[in-house]
Amino acid sequence: MKSTFFPHFTIGTDAYEAVPDICGDYGRTAVIIGGNKSRAAAEPLIRKVCEGHIEILGSFLYGDDATFENAEALTKIPEVQKADMIFAVGGGRATDTTKWASHLLHKPLFTFPTLASNCASVTAVCIMYNPDHSFRCSIYRERNAYHTFINTEIIAHSPRDYFWAGLGDALAKQYEVPFSARGLDLDWVQETGVANAQNVKNGILKYGKKALEAVDRQEVNDSLEPAILSIIVAPGMASVCIEDDLDSCLAHAIYNSHTNTPHKGNHLHGAVVNYGLQVMLQLDGQYEERDKIRSFAKSINLPHCLSDIGIDPAHPDELVKNCLHTKDMRVKPYDITFDMVYKAMMDIEELNRQGK
Ligand SMILES: [Zn+2]
């Protein structure tokens, strides 16, 4: 048996007004779980639309990271146990912790992303960490959120760097999924996921820069909504259809290697992933696409060479070596060797020297 749950969502400056109608079918009481800043931004609006329809029994901090321990602790809170449904408010880590807590309690889950940096609010997968904040595992719920409410006004006021990196991360989905899936004989659902992944790029290349300007100015413009759909919903529609192994490849492998390789500075996930994507497109000979991604990256100052991610361009050896064996590389269309990745990185450096 196979079940797939496509994301259901409402988006707009007035997205929360749909909450009573949509959530009302699942009960009369709810709890809000999220981060401190995200709850400060979203909770007053959620409480207002719920007045007279859904009683909010309480509001709780999710913890300090997406851990099983934090999810278990949430399930022990009496109001959480009593509520008919759970509202997850925040970015990826708050959302994933709450997703797992609601899975343990078998309660309907609704998500309210306050950042557009990944597709966590619409997918079934939870990315979990250890209490020391190191990566632990990804684990699947039986389904994704019942509905996702995306308030564009709140995202216009979110930290710009997360939005900026989110644009870079989403673009990787467009290329990593079909790259991993190349040559495989997939069933209908997975083919649909691969097709959905390839619906990310156009929205980001067309609207991403203007949408980032909206976040910089903290006001909604016409580009913000389509860009948010390309960061949150389009990758999510791919993710709910495909196996974990197809979800990422060399771009994310380079990011995961980067976290274990000494480097200068702090670099957000999506920024390093976007550099990794440029290397992957170079290695795979997709030069036209490489140029499109690099020109977009340059237009919003995403990394486009090794020094941009804090790695000495003369010594990427460790970064290359560590990326070859990450779990992202389990499914790939051909053998990828140290020399191939190293050469692709050097080719990108050369393009950069030529000002391309
Ligand atoms: Zn990513």
Q: Give pLDDT tens digits for 261-304.
A: 999 999 999 999 999 999 999 999 999 999 999 999 999 999 99
Signed CA dihedral, 131, 135, 136, 142: sign only: positive
Q: Has residue 2 been placed in a domain? A: no
Q: Which domain covers residue 109, as residue numbers?
A: 9-156
Residue 36 near residue 24 (C-beta atoms within 8 A): no
Signed CA dihedral, 133, 135, 141, 145: sign only: positive
Report CA(20)–ligand 1 centroid distance (Å): 33
Same domain, 130 and 209: no
Q: pLDDT tens across 107-132, in order? A: 999 999 999 999 999 999 999 999 98
| % residues pLDDT > 90 (the chain) | 92
Residue that is last in its domain, among 156, 172, 196: 156
Please tell me whether residue 165 adopts helix, strand or coil conformation: helix
Q: pLDDT tens across 194-238, in order? A: 999 999 999 999 999 999 999 999 999 999 999 999 999 999 999
Q: Has residue 27 been placed in a domain? A: yes
C-alpha closest to that of 80 among 27, 147, 30, 46:
30
Q: Has residue 143 been placed in a domain? A: yes
Residue that is last in its domain, among 156, 179, 204: 156
Same domain, 151 and 165: no
Report CA(76)–ligand 1 centroid distance (Å): 31
Q: Are strands 109-113 and 9-12 parallel, antiparallel or unpaired?
A: unpaired
Q: 285 burial class (0-12, 13-18, 19+ CB within 10 angstroms)? A: exposed
Which positions ≥6 away from 133 have C-beta within 8 Å? Answer: 65
Does residue 1 have a pLDDT over 80? no
CA torsion 16-21-27-29 (nearest 10°) is: 30
Q: Which residue has the tokens 């140029």?
A: 291
Report CA(220)–ligand 1 centroid distance (Å): 25
Same domain, 222 and 238: yes
Same domain, 189 and 141: no
Residue that is last in its domain, among 135, 156, 177: 156
Phi, psi of 60, deg, nearest 5? -135, 145
For residue 323, what is the domain's CATH number?
A: 1.20.1090.10
CB-proximal residues (5 Å) to ion ligand 1? 169
Same domain, 146 and 171: no
Mean pLDDT for the stretch of residues 164-185: 97
Same domain, 183 and 60: no
Q: Has residue 3 been placed in a domain? A: no
What pLDDT is recorded for position 351?
96
Computed over every residue of the chain, the mean pLDDT equals: 96
For residue 72, what is the domain's CATH number?
A: 3.40.50.1970
Same domain, 80 and 177: no
Report CA(316)–ligand 1 centroid distance (Å): 21
Same domain, 309 and 206: yes
Does residue 55 have a pLDDT over 90? yes
Query: How many C-beta atoms lie closer than 10 Å to residue 106's C-beta?
Result: 7
Report CA(84)–ligand 1 centroid distance (Å): 32
Cα–Cα distance, 100 to 332 (Å, whole number): 30
Same domain, 126 and 81: yes
Strands, E, within the chain: which ranges?
9-12, 29-34, 55-61, 85-90, 109-113, 125-129, 135-140, 147-151
Residue 297 near residue 146 (C-beta atoms within 8 A): no
Q: pLDDT tens across 318-349, in order? A: 999 999 988 899 999 999 999 999 999 999 99
Same domain, 263 and 329: yes
Q: Has residue 4 been placed in a domain? A: no
C-alpha closest to that of 109 among 196, 227, 193, 5:
5
Q: Has residue 24 been placed in a domain? A: yes
Mean pLDDT for the stretch of residues 178-207: 96
Q: Has residue 98 been placed in a domain? A: yes
Same domain, 171 and 51: no
Please tell me whether residue 188 adopts helix, strand or coil conformation: helix
Q: Has residue 84 been placed in a domain? A: yes
Alpha-carbon distances of 297 from 5, 229, 266, 304, rounded to whole Å: 32, 19, 18, 7
Same domain, 209 and 280: yes
Report CA(119)–ligand 1 centroid distance (Å): 9
Residue 319 near residue 271 (C-beta atoms within 8 A): no
Report CA(49)–ligand 1 centroid distance (Å): 33
Number of domains in the chain: 2
- 77 pLDDT band, cuts 50/70/90, is very high
Please tell me whether residue 156 adopts helix, strand or coil conformation: helix
What pLDDT is recorded for position 133?
82
Cα–Cα distance, 17 to 10 (Å, whole number): 9
Report CA(169)–ligand 1 centroid distance (Å): 5
Of 66-80, 210-224, 238-252, 296-310, the one with minimum mean pLDDT is 238-252
What pLDDT is recorded for position 3?
80
